[in-house]
Amino acid sequence: MPADEPEFDTGVALYERIRERLGWYPTADVDVLVVGGGIQGLLVLNELTDSGYAAALVSNAPLGAGQTFDWPGTLSKGYLDPDPDQRRAVEERWLPFAEAERVPVEGGEWYVCSTDHPYQYLPPQWDEGGYEYDERGIDGLPEIYRDGTIFAKGSGEHVTSLDEYTVDREALVRALVDGHEERIVVGDITEFAFDEGGQGGGDTPALDGLTVETHEDLTVRFDPEYVVAAKGTGTHGFVDSLVGAAGFAEAGGDPDSVRESVASVTYRNVLVLAVRGPATELPAVSAYLPHRGMSVVARRHRHREENYVTWYVTNDTATSEVAPVEATDDATGTLDPEQVEVGYNKLFELAPAVKERAADGADIEFYAYATLEQRVDGESTRHLAAPVDGLANVGVALPSGAAGVWAATDETLDYVADAVDPSGPVDAVPTGGNPPIGRLADDRPGARWLDWKALGVRYPRVQNRPDAVERS
C-alpha cells in the first residue's frame, strides 16, 4: 500500500519542502541583513539596495505592522517643536519620494489653536526656521470647533493655519516593498551564532549568523556581514535575545555594553481615540492644541464607497512611561477604559458638534486603542542610528516620528559603509517572496467600531448621555 503523499503549502516550491524535510537548510550570504519590517526597516533596505549592497530583510510580522501600523500617516514638520532638519526631511525627502513613487499625500486643513502661552514662543521660532504659516485669529477657527471650549481655560485666542501633510501608509509600505519582495523573509529568528574576536580579529565578538523559521514553516540561515536592527518597540527585546543567546558569552560578549547602546530608547503608552464618519459630518480638519497637550489628526479615506474621514485624537495627559522590558514587539499598549471616557469627554467639549451629530443619527463611529510611542533621549523628534557597543557588526536604526526615518537611514548607510563594501544587489534570498502587508489602523484585526449608542454602553461615563450609569 503506497504511503500517503506529503502535503505542501500553496506557493512554496517543492524542492524547498524536500530540503526542509531532509534538514538541508539554505543559506543566504548577504552584505547586510535588516531586521524589522516597518517604514524604517523597509527604507533602509531600499537605500542599501540602491547603494549596491546585497541586502535582505527579515520581519516577524506583516510588513508595515508595529508602530507603522498605528501611525496616522502624519508627515509633521515639527511646528510645536520647531526643527529645520525635521522641516527639510518632509519637504526635501518625503514629499519628493512620495511623488516619484505615486504615494498619495494630502495637505488638508491643519491648525494650531492656542492661548497666549505657549503660542507667544512659536512664531519667532517658525520665522527663524523658515516655516510657512498664516495667522487667522479667532474668526479663522474651523466651524467644527466653533461651539467648543478650546480657549475656555486660558488667555488669548490664536488660530493659525499650517503647512502639514498626511501620507497613505499602506501605499507607502507597498511602494517601499515594490521590487524587494524576493529579498524579504517573514519569520522568527530562532538562533544566533557568534564569532569570537569578530570578523577582523580583536576583542569584540561579531554576529556570525542567524537562523529564521519562516511563517510557511521553512528554515533559512542568514550569513550577513552586517546586521541593522530596525525593530522599533521590539528593539530592547531583540537586544536581550542577542546577549542571552547561547554562544554570546563564550565569544567574549559583554551584555551590559550592548544594552547600554540602546538605553536612550524609551517608550510611552499612548491612548488614541479614533472617530470615523463621512466628510460631510466629520470634516478633515487637523488641530494641534499645545496648551491642552492635545492633537487631532484627520485622514481622508474611502469607507463604504464614500469619502470618509478618520480623526486620531491623542492627549499627553493620557500617556504613561513603559519600561523597555515590558514593551511589546508590535507596539500594542494597554487600554484604560476610564481614560477612554475622560478622553471622549474632552473631545466632545472641544468639538461638541461631533457628539451632537452622532446623537442625531449621523453615521459616526468610535474606536479606542493604545499604542507605544518610541522616544529617544526622552523626545519624540530624535532618532538613533549607530553601531551598538559590544558587537562588531550590529547597528540600530530607530526614529522618533516619521521625519526621523530619513536621518536614521542616512546615518545607517554611513556606518555600514565604514564596515562593509557593497558586493552588488542580490536578486533573491531563499524562502523570500510574496510577503504579507499590514493593514491600516482603522481596519485593525478585532477592532470594534461603536456607534453612538454602543459607545455609551461600553463607556458609560461619557458625559451628557441620558443612559449614563455609574461604574460599579
CA distance 56 to 278: 41
Length of the chain: 472
pLDDT of residue 471: 41
pLDDT tens for 179-235 read 999 999 999 999 999 998 655 556 789 999 999 999 988 899 999 999 999 999 999
The pTM of the full predicted model, rounded to 2 decimals, is: 0.92
Say whether pLDDT at 398 is over 70: yes
**Whole-angstrom distance, CA of residue 424 vs CA of residue 52:** 5
In the CATH scheme, what is the code of domain 14-67+174-264+379-419? Answer: 3.50.50.60
For residue range 230-276, list pLDDT tens digits in order.
Answer: 999 999 999 999 999 999 999 999 999 999 999 999 999 999 999 99
- Can you name the residues that pair with 308 across neighbouring β-strands? 278, 301
Question: Could you check whether the bond before residue 445 is cis, i.e. omega within 30 degrees of 0?
Answer: no
Q: Strand pairing partners for 398?
A: 384
Q: What is the mean pLDDT of residues 328-336?
A: 94
Q: What spatial distance separates the first Cα and last Cα of the chain, rounded to whole Å?
A: 67
The ranges of the chain annotated as CATH 3.30.9.10 are 107-166+266-376+440-458
Which is nearest to 374 in space by CA: 92, 40, 34, 33? 40
Instruction: Count other C-beta atoms under 10 Å from residue 76's C-beta.
Output: 25
Place 24 in a pLDDT band, splitting at 50, 70 and 90: low
Q: Which amino acid is at 232?
A: G
pLDDT of 16 > 90? The answer is no
CATH 3.50.50.60 domain position(s) in the chain: 14-67+174-264+379-419
* CATH class of the domain defined by 107-166+266-376+440-458: alpha beta
Q: Is the pLDDT of residue 469 over 60?
A: no
The string over 84-104, giving b where at least 16 C-beta atoms fall within 10 Å of a residue's C-beta and e elsewhere, is eebbbbbbebbbebbeeeebe
Whether residue 65 is predicted with pLDDT greater than 70 in this model: the reply is yes
Q: What DSSP letter does each residue of 275-292 carry, written as one string?
A: EEEETTTS--EEEEETTT
pLDDT for 1 beyond 50: no
Q: How far apart are CA 46 and CA 128, in angstroms?
A: 34
